[in-house]
Structure 1
Amino acid sequence: MNTEKKYHRAKKSLGQNFLTDQNICRKIVDAIRPNHDDHIFEIGPGQGALTEHLINTAPKKLSVLEMDDELADRLESAHSELEVIRGDALKFSWESLNDLDGCKIIGNLPYNVGSKLIWDIVSKVKTLEKAVFMVQHEVALRLTADPGGRAYGGLTAWVKNFADTKYLFKVPPTVFRPQPKVDSAVVAFFPRPIEQWPESPENLSKLIKMLFQKRRKQLSTILKKQWSPEMEEWFTREEVMTNWRPENLTPAQFLGLSQYI
């Protein structure tokens, strides 16, 4: 690693925390299972900690999305084989990746935008083969939670209608510069078949937000204005109790109920 990388000042406004532990980098890259036929897309490569390991796997194509122009310049200079895309991941057109035959997405996501990015990526990239993201530990627990637990929430119900998730390993603050104040964790995402995706993502999103904005209330109370004979029939058929709270519903039940919203 060259000295230029070593002394780049992290920008708090961009949520930059640079990985410095090569063993952790290798574990994250290994988790995506890269091969020579892959088109790999990395979010926020920063100083290239993951990028350099990805390059060594010799994928068919490696694209990186970087918001910091200075770091993007360095990556372009150091690695001519890279496709460097400059821009904000929150504004990136994830649907554009649907023109590919398939892709894998990887990244050390900034804490302040990680949940929003994952929400968009899993529901918009139909060509996604696998994703591996490092996020705040608390978010990792939410992404992989089971119904009924405290960590289970709207993000869980949404993501699990598009992909299966797996908690891989915890990452301590000591492997970053500067060190964050909380632990991180790495999560893998395995997309569900397209035919299993929600027919109306808008309805599902609306229902999830409606219910979890009042997560302490019973379903019958929250859904009082939407209640109909068809909805009542669904509750009976699915053996869902009206006095349940939102976190008691499975992702599949959220999807089923969303058709009545």
Structure 2
Amino acid sequence: MPRQDPPHRAKKSLGQNFLTDPNICRKIVDALAPSADDYIIEIGPGQGALTEHLVETGARRLRALEMDYDLADRLAERWPGLDVVRTDALKFPWDELNDTGPCKIIGNLPYNVGSKLIWDIVSKVETLSRAVFMVQHEVALRLTAEPGTKAYGGLTAWVKNYCDTRYLFKVPPTVFRPRPKVDSAVVRFDPFPLTDRPVDRERLSGLVKLLFQQRRKQISTILRKRMKPEIEEWFQKEGVSPSLRPENLTPTQFRSLSLIY
């Protein structure tokens, strides 16, 4: 009889919640629009719920980033052709993908690192053609929020300078093992052309963090020590009142202001 591996116990320290509904898994993979010509990277494949459907696409290269060595070994054994990388996705050199041609990235991201991963991926992977991530529902609302709304924040302003984001569907706790205490949701990311992305990531990042660390204050108050004629002219040109709060600026306005603040 074939050897039966013991069930894997989810590790709370790694934020593991395994998908158990094949229909949800297929919907997530379909949202990536995978093809046989694609290079696909999956973050945190776990027990292979999404991987199984990704393998079926016949993608020319399928890479899985898994930091749980036990799960990584099981994945490699189940799919010998799968490129399993035993690593923490937060430490993965995402900008190295810029030397490998177009790629697509997918994953059921742990709640505790999802925002940080997305922040890095959208800004560092210039060859990204599409990404689909499942995140905490609250984070999904932030990723797709519009200026002037409560959900709009630093993550929104940053990501929407690199990608068009689309909220696809909500995922209930009942399709996970163990069950999380909150809803999840799936978001699709379609990157802008390189010519439409920020030219200075560091300046944009600095401004976004500066303003949203004090999001309840007026922009003029936050920038008081940095105020100079160029910034005053910027407000006039954009038709923006300095008395507004950070969530009222569009992603594009954050980008243009970052070049002069």
Task: Tell me whether the two structures share a fold, i.e. TM-score over 0.5.
Answer: yes
Distance in structure 2 (CA, Å) of the matches to 1:76 and 1:217: 51
Q: CA deviation at 1:182?
A: 0.2
In the other structure, the counterpart of 2:242 is 242
Kindly provide the amino acid, as one letter, of the partner of residue 21 in structure 1.
Answer: D
Kindly provide the amino acid, as one letter, of the partner of residue 226 in structure 1.
Answer: R
Distance in structure 1 (CA, Å) of the matches to 2:86 and 2:231: 47
Q: What SS does the corresponding residue of 1:237 show, helix, strand or coil?
A: helix
| Paired residues of 1:147 and 1:250 also in contact (CA < 8 A) | yes
Distance in structure 1 (CA, Å) of the matches to 2:72 and 2:135: 22
Alpha-carbon distance change, 39 to 26 in structure 1, aligned in 2, over 3 angstroms: same
Alpha-carbon distance change, 204 to 53 in structure 1, aligned in 2, over 3 angstroms: same
TM (norm. structure 1) is 0.98
| Paired residues of 1:66 and 1:86 also in contact (CA < 8 A) | yes
In the other structure, the counterpart of 1:53 is 53
Q: Does 1:218 align with 2:218?
A: yes
| Paired residues of 1:42 and 1:105 also in contact (CA < 8 A) | yes
Output aligned runs, 1:174-185, within 5 Å. Answer: 174-185=174-185
Q: CA deviation at 1:5?
A: 7.0
Pairwise CA RMSD = 1.2
Kindly provide the amino acid, as one letter, of the partner of residue 225 in structure 1.
Answer: K
* Structure 1: gaps spanning 5 or more residues: none
Distance in structure 2 (CA, Å) of the matches to 1:225 and 1:195: 32
Deviations 1:147-205 (A, max 9, x none): 00000000000000011100000000000000000000000000011111111110101
Deviations 1:103-142 (A, max 9, x none): 0000000000000000000000000000000000000000
In the other structure, the counterpart of 2:83 is 83
Kindly provide the amino acid, as one letter, of the partner of residue 145 in structure 1.
Answer: A
Alpha-carbon distance change, 207 to 3 in structure 1, aligned in 2, over 3 angstroms: farther
Q: What SS does the corresponding residue of 1:180 show, helix, strand or coil?
A: coil
In the other structure, the counterpart of 1:124 is 124
Kindly provide the amino acid, as one letter, of the partner of residue 22 in structure 2.
Answer: Q
Alpha-carbon distance change, 4 to 18 in structure 1, aligned in 2, over 3 angstroms: farther
How many residues of Structure 1 are paired with residues of Structure 2 in the alignment?
260
In the other structure, the counterpart of 1:43 is 43
In the other structure, the counterpart of 1:255 is 255
Alpha-carbon distance change, 122 to 6 in structure 1, aligned in 2, over 3 angstroms: farther
Q: What SS does the corresponding residue of 1:131 show, helix, strand or coil?
A: strand
Alpha-carbon distance change, 182 to 223 in structure 1, aligned in 2, over 3 angstroms: same
* Structure 2: gaps spanning 5 or more residues: none
In the other structure, the counterpart of 1:232 is 232
More displaced stretch, 249-258 vs 192-201: 192-201
TM (norm. structure 2) is 0.98
Identity of paired residues, percent?
68
